Amino acid sequence: MKILGLDLGSKTLGIALSDALGLTAQGIETFVFTDNNYQLALDRVVEFVKKEKVERIVLGYPKNMNGTIGPRGKISEEFAQKIRDALQIKVILWDERMTTMEAEKILINANMSRQKRKKIIDKMAAVVILQSYLNSI
């Protein structure tokens, strides 16, 4: 079963995809859209899910460090519901606290320049989110 991992920002959408066995996550792309134009991001997800025959989506769920849900978390909840409405697919909100920091650490350890890291950090965060989910099932 292919599972899609997403890291939603205000201008970017990090996309990762599992292998067919659901064991490993691979970074696919960082999709850039107009500031807060989530319809463009949704259209990209719908297109990708249909093309790749994705059966489940794991969407990063930004919680505050104390576990409460702030404005970014509410946006993720709304985006997840729009995906469900558009595709009738299971969407799991996955705690993404610290994932961007973990992705940054991975890229630094790979001796990647700051400029290159900035371009792929969201894709790597999606990989971390998806791999965390895959490790839990």
Select the more confidently predicted residue: 124 or 118.
124
Strand 56-61 relative to strand 90-95, pairing: parallel
Query: Which of these, 15, 1, 11, lies nearest to 83 by C-alpha position?
Result: 15
Give CA 129 to chain center in angstroms: 7
Residue 27 contacts residue 126 (beta carbons within 8 Å): yes
Domains in the chain: ranges and CATH: 3-136 (3.30.420.140)
User: Could you give the CA distance from residue 126 to residue 56 in angstroms, rounded to a whole number?
Assistant: 14
- Give the pLDDT band (50/70/90) at residue 105: confident
Which residues, 6 or more positions from 89, have their beta carbon under 8 angstroms from its beta carbon?
Answer: 49, 54, 55, 56, 57, 83
Q: Quickly count helices (H) and strands (E) in the chain.
A: 4, 5
pLDDT tens by residue, 9-58: 999 999 999 999 999 999 999 999 998 899 999 999 999 999 999 999 99
